[in-house]
Amino acid sequence: MLTVLEAINRSTEFLEKKNIESPRTNAEHLLAHVLKCKRLDLYLAFDRPLKENETDIYRELIVRRGKTEPLQYIVGTVEFYGLEFKVNPSVLIPRPETELLIEKILESVNKEDSLKILDIGTGSGNIAVSLAKNLSNSTLTAIDISEDAIEVAEENSELNNINGQISFYKIDFVNEQGFSESNFDLIVSNPPYVSINDYSGLSPELKDHEPKIALTDNKDGLNFYSEISKKAQTLLNKNGKLFFEVGMGQAEEVKTILIQNSFSDIEIFKDYSNIERVVKGVLT
């Protein structure tokens, strides 16, 4: 009968051979999930024998991880901006760098104001829910082309007790002619920004498991920035703000797109890896 420590060590070795990044951390997270405890609690229970059913479940999860299935999809949740979000293969897994997008938005507004905010391509709802949690007087509209993504986002709104502050809609923003809402004070988007040429070179975790529609625009990676910036002119109030997350090396091109669409006061913010990650513009 395997002990907790033996299970972790064997699984770490297996994942390492499969070239999984941070194999020990992955092994521990998965075992904590099986045992329904915190990862750090494992360190107080290294000698605890695993029950047969626990061992079987754990082996199954380790095999899945060894096949590059993302850890977050296996456990079904991820933490983002201090909140818990459900995730599945219908939605992109929220990344820590996107937290910078939330931080810069919150720094740019009065949190007591009653703002009207549009989140384009909401996915799991992580951006909209995080903003709603921190802007209690504001109302948000969150849209996505995927019905499955909208269902996940609605679940995450309920999970985090948002209480009707966000309205979710399935809308193809680029091609939809019937989106008639306007007078937004702020628009935010983390759109698909991987070019079709770069898509084939993505890691198996991304390319084989996360939704392609959330990763690439099937063009040059800039299509959504152009479309959103163009349509934002009629969606935003004067002096309304537009915030984008951008991919590595895209910030200056997105800045140019914003200037071409009547935005000024453009700022570019670097993430903690010193990569230009967020671009902000104000509609003049």
Per-residue pLDDT tens over the stretch 48-94: 999 999 999 999 999 999 999 999 999 999 999 999 999 999 999 99
pLDDT in the model for residue 181: 84
Reported pTM = 0.95
CA distance 279 to 188: 10
* Residues 100, 278 contacting (CB under 8 angstroms): yes
CA distance 106 to 81: 12
Looking at residues 175-199, what average pLDDT do you find? 90
Query: Is 159 a residue whose pLDDT tops 80?
Result: yes
* Residues 266, 259 contacting (CB under 8 angstroms): yes
pLDDT in the model for residue 176: 78
* Residues 10, 61 contacting (CB under 8 angstroms): no
To the nearest whole percent, how much of the chain has pLDDT over 90? 96
To which residue do tokens 């529609």 refer?
A: 213
pLDDT in the model for residue 196: 96
pLDDT in the model for residue 65: 98
CA distance 185 to 149: 25
Query: Is 192 a residue whose pLDDT tops 80?
Result: yes
pLDDT in the model for residue 125: 98
Task: Name the superfamily (CATH) of residues 78-283.
Answer: Vaccinia Virus protein VP39 (3.40.50.150)
Instruction: Report CA Rg, the chain.
Output: 21
Q: Using pLDDT thresholds of 50, 70 and 90, give the confidence band for residue 163.
A: confident
Domain ranges of the chain: 4-67, 78-283
pLDDT in the model for residue 1: 87
Q: Residue 161 — left, alpha, or beta (φ > 0 → left; ψ -120 to 50 → alpha)?
A: left
User: In this structure, what token pair is assigned to residue 184?
Assistant: 């937004």
pLDDT in the model for residue 140: 98
